[in-house]
A = this chain, B = another copy of it.
Amino acid sequence: MKRHQTTIIDIARELNISKSTVSRALTGHPNVNPETRKAVLALADRMDYQRNMLALSLVTSRSNTLGIIVPEFLTSFFPQIVIGAQEVASKAGYNVIVSQSNESYETEVANAKVMLANRVDGVMVSVSKESRNFEHFKIFQRKGIPIVFFNRVCDEMQVPKVVVDDYDGAFRAVEHLIGTGKRRIAHLAGPDSLSISRKRLQGYRDALLKHGLPIREELIIPYDLSTEKARIYVKHLLDLPEPPDALFSINDPTAIEAMQVIKARGLGIPQDIAVVGFSNDYASALIEPGLTTVAQPVREMGKTAARLLLDQMDREVSDWKAIIRTLKTELIIRGSG
Interface residues of A (CB under 8 A from B): 1, 3, 5, 48, 50-55, 57-58, 61, 63, 73-74, 76, 78-80, 82-83, 86, 90, 95-100, 102, 110, 113-114, 116-119, 139, 142-145, 256, 260, 282-283, 286-288, 316-318
Shortest CB distance A17–B (Å): 23
13 further interface pairs, Cβ-Cβ under 8 Å (given A95-B114, A96-B98): A3-B145, A48-B142, A48-B143, A52-B117, A52-B119, A53-B117, A53-B119, A54-B118, A55-B58, A58-B58, A74-B282, A283-B286, A287-B287
Shortest CB distance A71–B (Å): 12
Shortest CB distance A292–B (Å): 15
Some 29 contacts from A to B, beta carbons below 8 A apart, are A1-B144, A5-B61, A50-B113, A50-B117, A54-B54, A54-B57, A54-B118, A54-B119, A55-B58, A73-B79, A73-B82, A73-B83, A74-B80, A78-B79, A79-B79, A82-B98, A82-B100, A83-B102, A86-B99, A86-B100, A95-B99, A95-B114, A96-B97, A96-B98, A96-B99, A97-B97, A256-B286, A283-B283, A286-B287
Residues of B within 8 A of A288 (CB): 287-288
Residues of B within 8 A of A100 (CB): 82-83, 86
Lowest 4 CB-CB distances: which A-B pairs, in order?
A288-B288, A283-B283, A50-B116, A73-B79
Residues of B within 8 A of A317 (CB): 1
Number of copies: 2
A80 to B86, Cβ gap below 8 A? no
A119 to B5, Cβ gap below 8 A? yes
Residue among A51, A73, A114, A139 having the largest count of chain B Cβ atoms under 10 Å: A73
Residues of B within 8 A of A116 (CB): 50
Q: Which of B52, B57, B98, B144 contacts A3 (CB 8 A)?
A: B144
Shortest CB distance A159–B (Å): 15
Give the nearest-CB partner of A118 in chain B: B53
Residues of B within 8 A of A117 (CB): 50-53
Shortest CB distance A135–B (Å): 10
How far apart sit A88 and B159, CA to CA, in the bound complex (Å)? 34
How far apart sit A73 and B79, CA to CA, in the bound complex (Å)? 6
Residue among A54, A76, A90, A119 having the largest count of chain B Cβ atoms under 10 Å: A54
B54 to A63, Cβ gap below 8 A? yes
How far apart sit A282 and B73, CA to CA, in the bound complex (Å)? 12
Give the nearest-CB partner of A263 in chain B: B288
How far apart sit A110 and B76, CA to CA, in the bound complex (Å)? 25
How far apart sit A288 and B259, CA to CA, in the bound complex (Å)? 12
